[in-house]
Amino acid sequence: MLEIRNLHTHYGPSHIIQGIDLTLREGEVFGVFGRNGVGKTTLLKTIAGWVKPTEGAIEFNGEPIHGLHADRIARRGVGFVPEDRRIFPGLSVEENLTLGFLQVPGRSSKESRAALQRTYERFPRLSERRNQNGTTLSGGEQQMLAMARVTIGKPTLLLIDEPSEGLAPMIVADLFAIIQEMKAAGCTILLVEQNVHQALAVCDRFAVIERGRIVVSGRASDKADCERLMATLAV
Q: Where are the domains of the chain?
A: 2-86+155-234
Percent of the chain with pLDDT over 70: 99
Label the pairing between strands 157-161 and 188-192. parallel
Low-confidence ranges of the chain (pLDDT < 50): none
User: What superfamily would CATH give domain 2-86+155-234?
Assistant: P-loop containing nucleotide triphosphate hydrolases (3.40.50.300)
Res 67: pLDDT:
86
**Span 180-223, pLDDT tens digits:** 988 998 899 999 999 999 999 999 999 999 999 999 999 999 99
For 90, counting Cβ atoms within 10 Å of its Cβ (0-12 exposed, 13-18 middle, 19+ buried), the class is: exposed
Strand 2-11 with 55-60, pairing:
antiparallel
Q: Judge contact between 20 and 43, C-beta under 8 A.
A: yes
In angstroms, the CA 115 to CA 110 distance is 9
